[in-house]
Structure 1
Amino acid sequence: MPYLPRIGITPDINDFAAPETEYVVRRNYADAVSKAGGLPFLLPYCEHVDDYLDAIDGLLVTGGMFDIDPALYRQTARKDFVMKPARTNFERALIEAALSREMPIVGICNGMQLLAVCLGGELVQDIQTEIEGALDHKPNQTASIAHHQIHISGTSRHLETQGEVHEVNSIHHQSVLPSDVYQVLAVSPDGVVEAIEKKDGGFAIGVQWHPEYGVADIDTIIFDGFLAKARDYSQRKK
């Protein structure tokens, strides 16, 4: 039986008081990893980041309905934010350690934003109030329905994208600012950054939409490419 790359998936955490607190993650994250040929593992928050990374071949940083502390990207908060410091600190430690190992990383939505911050980038704190003429990037509809187009604006070092325009879903109110520390791979028609890639080294890609829903053709390309790199990484470890 062929080896199945081990993919660590970061969960969210609910706000129930202990001891009823739960780690939560949507099933379709794990299903997308399994469909692409990987073995998904949930990563509960702890300090033993290197031990986790020793056990996996790729890191999937999931989305979440909360924001990253603006102080982490050299800004002052311009509104009240819902933040989850325990989750952000854990995921940040994972990303930074995975980058140092050149372990394959995919960051989705909030995960893309944190990847950008870890690489040295900054964020748009609120799209609707900061970007004139912006689309509604957090529509009142399920993420299983495509909401707007993205335009492939850069050539990836790791993914073979097909076509220049894709219809994707959308569930976010913040976005990544362009930066010299990563390449912008895709934008929406209003100029919002929709995908980034680390400029050198290993596979480290962030997407602002939610490819785990499988709404767009490019979603399969992302997960297949991620698992292929995780398989290569597992061979290098051996």
Structure 2
Amino acid sequence: MVSSGSDRPVIGLTTYAERTRFGVWDVDAAVLHRSYVDSVVRAGGVPVLLPPAGDAHGELLPLLDGLVLTGGADIEPRRYGSEAHATTVTRPDRDAAEFALAEAALSGTIPVLGVCRGMEVLNVVLGGTLVQHLPEVTGTVAHQPEVAVFGDTVVTLAAASRAAAVLGTETACRCYHHQAVATLGDGLQAVGWAADGTIEALELPGERFVLGVQWHPEQDSADLRLFGALVEAATKKSGGES
């Protein structure tokens, strides 16, 4: 392993670009929920925050052993050939950075975990499309009950999938999303569904770890299985395990 100087893999985490208040400051900042960082640390990885800036994605990836595409704002609909819905809120600068990063990661061998928006990024990068406002399809706000309130969802996972190998064929999750996968990107397989049929997990088949989940595993501090699986894959990829 060349990244961390130890047997712990370095895991990159994409960040938000938002107006942020801390200390005496009220400034534009690159920020991320602490729960993502803590989840990576507790799973045995070394977290590195990746701001949505610059274009050195090819140079960046060799420094990482694994990548988490984190949650956040909606993807610009023109990226999948649609006009914006009234409820769609985008961050084009973040799209630009993360799409380039995801494309570079998918062209290599780095393990990738997409969380909520991150799963949608994987799907759109590979040519898929999104439902922009899920309540119009499902007739319910169960996936995002209200602002800053997580919903509780039970997801059924395909028995032969990587996701099920990590989580079993059924898992309870915390979710917060008003968008979802409509058509799948090239090569991706849907492997998890909510009771209303919403796709809640997808992956690339094969040995390589590329997995997206629509829910927020970082919100369950007692369940590190997804982050642990990413760290394990990153360790193997970096040569830290024989």
Partner residue of 2:193?
187
Partner residue of 2:10?
6
Q: Quick one: distance in 1 between partners of 2:202 and 2:140?
A: 19
1:36-65, Cα deviation, whole Å (9 max, x unpaired): 11000011221111121111111111101x
Q: Is the 8 A contact 2:158 2:191 kept in 1?
A: yes
Q: Which runs of 5+ in 1 are unaligned?
A: none
- TM-score by length of structure 1 reads 0.87
Q: Is the 8 A contact 2:113 2:230 kept in 1?
A: yes
- TM-score by length of structure 2 reads 0.86
> 1:82 and 2:89 equivalent?
yes
Q: Quick one: distance in 2 between partners of 1:84 and 1:212?
A: 22
> 1:30 and 2:29 equivalent?
no
Instruction: Say if 1:49 and 1:138 are closer, same or farther in 2 by CA, change over 3 A.
Output: same
Q: Is the 8 A contact 1:133 1:190 kept in 2?
A: no
> 1:48 and 2:53 equivalent?
no
One-letter amino acid of the counterpart of residue 61, structure 2 = L
Instruction: Say if 1:149 and 1:135 are closer, same or farther in 2 by CA, change over 3 A.
Output: farther
1:199 maps to which of 201, 205, 209: 205
Q: Is the 8 A contact 2:159 2:169 kept in 1?
A: no
2:132 maps to which of 112, 125, 128: 125
Partner residue of 2:75?
68
1:98-124, Cα deviation, whole Å (9 max, x unpaired): 111121011101111011111221111
Q: Is the 8 A contact 1:57 1:234 kept in 2?
A: yes
> Percent identity over the alignment?
36
One-letter amino acid of the counterpart of residue 136, structure 1 = A
Q: Is the 8 A contact 1:105 1:205 kept in 2?
A: yes
Instruction: Say if 1:90 and 1:154 are closer, same or farther in 2 by CA, change over 3 A.
Output: farther
1:74: Cα distance to partner?
A: 2.1
1:151-180, Cα deviation, whole Å (9 max, x unpaired): 113522476234322211111100012426
1:172 maps to which of 145, 166, 177: 177
Q: Quick one: distance in 2 between partners of 1:98 and 1:122?
A: 20
Instruction: Say if 1:211 and 1:162 are closer, same or farther in 2 by CA, change over 3 A.
Output: closer
Partner residue of 2:227?
223
Q: Is the 8 A contact 1:154 1:184 kept in 2?
A: no
Q: Is the 8 A contact 1:121 1:181 kept in 2?
A: no
1:149 maps to which of 154, 157, 161: 154
What is the RMSD computed on CA atoms of the aligned residues?
2.5
Q: Quick one: distance in 2 between partners of 1:154 and 1:117?
A: 25
Instruction: Say if 1:75 and 1:15 are closer, same or farther in 2 by CA, change over 3 A.
Output: same
Partner residue of 1:57?
65
**SS of 1:29's equivalent?**
helix
Q: Quick one: distance in 2 between partners of 1:181 and 1:80?
A: 29
Instruction: Say if 1:232 and 1:195 are closer, same or farther in 2 by CA, change over 3 A.
Output: same
Instruction: Say if 1:201 and 1:90 are closer, same or farther in 2 by CA, change over 3 A.
Output: farther
Pairs aligned (count) = 230
More strand by share: 2
Q: Which runs of 5+ in 2 are unaligned?
A: 21-25
Q: Quick one: distance in 1 between partners of 2:49 and 2:214?
A: 21
1:79: Cα distance to partner?
A: 2.7
